[in-house]
Amino acid sequence: MSNFQGKVAIVTGAGRGIGEAVTRKLVAGGATVLAVGPGRNEEGLAAELGEQVVPVVCDVSVEADVDNLFAICRERFGRLDLLLNNAGISLGGRRLHETPIAEWDQVMDINLRGAFLILRQSIALMLESGGGSIVNTASIGGVKPSLSTTPYSISKAGLIMMTRTTALEYARDNIRVNVICPGTIATPMIEAGGAELIAKKEAITPIGRIGTAEEVAELACFLLSDVAPSITGGVHTIAGGREAL
């Protein structure tokens, strides 16, 4: 298990799925986590895991909410060591010309604008703190195109480039920035699609099954940890072999 003793972390989208799995792993390693989300599950996570979890209600696409998150982080801890920039939504099922503008805007607001707002303030605080480690959550959809996922795939491709440029800009400031690109993962979002959708995703995954949030958390926490000191700017797929197709 990675040692995060005494570290302060922010995890967005912390209430379920990958964000919840990473939060649990960081806490088990000794970190204190600001668990950020819309308020559905973060309080329960704090009640279960104790005072190492600080729940914060925040819509990452709203600047005032992000300002409040970082005001809390500064007031309570005065620094930031780790960030999992994970909040995101997936809307799709339409070809590009059928995509409503409101749907495009909603995906971009959360997946790109929100990621930028969180990243921007995290870096500013890490510069004051002497450095840190950041993992952004993109998707295999940002690496390989698929049908009827235009807004989502473009937003995740943009996040990949945001990661790479940020890693270059802050490499000499002791701030590492990486991006993970999961394939289909067994989270409440995919499970809500039903058995037929899961079977379809398993059929296109070379290893024959979809991944788990815990597997992704292992990769994310490795990249966040001090055992990966020279890994930055990387695009790390975890998609059961789909990246090889």
| 152 carries an active-site annotation | yes
Using CB atoms within 10 Å of the CB of residue 174, give its burial: 0 to 12 exposed, 13 to 18 middle, 19+ buried. middle
Please pick, among 152, 153, 224, 242, the residue that the annotation labels catalytic: 152
Nearest to 10 by CA among 193, 133, 165: 133
- Say whether 56 sits in a helix, a strand or coil: strand
The torsion defined by the Cα of 37, 185, 29 and 36, in degrees rounded to 10, comes to: -10
**Residues with a known catalytic role:** 152
